[in-house]
Amino acid sequence: MKKFENIKIVNKKEKVKLSKEEKVKLKEEKTKEKKELKEKKKESKNTLISNREVLPFLDVDEDNFFVTKQGFLNLYQVKTRDVSNLSEYETMLYIYNFIHFLRNYIDDFKIIAMNFPVNTVKQQEYLNKKLEETDNQKYIGFLEEKLNELKFLETHRNNKEFFLMVFMKNEVDKENLLNKLNHMQNISITLKNINLEKKMKILFKLNNMNTKLM
DSSP, collapsed to helix, strand or coil, labels residue 130 as helix
Q: Please state the rounded mean pLDDT for residues 111-138.
A: 85
Q: What is the pLDDT of residue 96?
A: 92
Q: Is the pLDDT of residue 72 over 70?
A: yes
- 164/202 Cα distance (integer angstroms): 11
Count of CB atoms situated within 10 Å of the CB of 192: 10
Where residue 183 falls among pLDDT bands split at 50, 70, 90?
confident
Q: What is the pLDDT of residue 20?
A: 73
Nearest alpha carbon to residue 112 among 197, 198, 176: 198
Q: Is the pLDDT of residue 105 over 80?
A: yes
Where residue 165 falls among pLDDT bands split at 50, 70, 90?
very high
- The answer to whether 78 and 111 are in contact (CB under 8 A) is yes
3-state helix, strand, coil in the chain (%, to 5): 50, 15, 30
| Better pLDDT: 192 or 23 | 192
Average per-residue pLDDT for the chain: 80
Q: Is the pLDDT of residue 76 over 90?
A: yes
78-to-32, 98, 113, 186 alpha-carbon distances in Å? 62, 12, 10, 11
Q: What is the pLDDT of residue 184?
A: 86
Q: Please state the rounded mean pLDDT for residues 130-148.
A: 86
- 118/149 Cα distance (integer angstroms): 12
| Better pLDDT: 170 or 13 | 170
Q: What is the pLDDT of residue 124?
A: 87
Where residue 36 falls among pLDDT bands split at 50, 70, 90?
confident
Nearest alpha carbon to residue 113 among 211, 205, 214: 205
Q: Is the pLDDT of residue 147 over 90?
A: no
Q: Is the pLDDT of residue 14 over 60?
A: no
Q: Please state the rounded mean pLDDT for residues 113-131.
A: 85
DSSP annotation string for 47-115: PPPPHHHHS-EEEE-TTSPEEESSSEEEEEEEP---GGGS-HHHHHHHHHHHHHHHHH--S-EEEEEEE
Q: Please state the rounded mean pLDDT for residues 111-133.
A: 86
Paired with 72 in beta bridges are: 67, 168
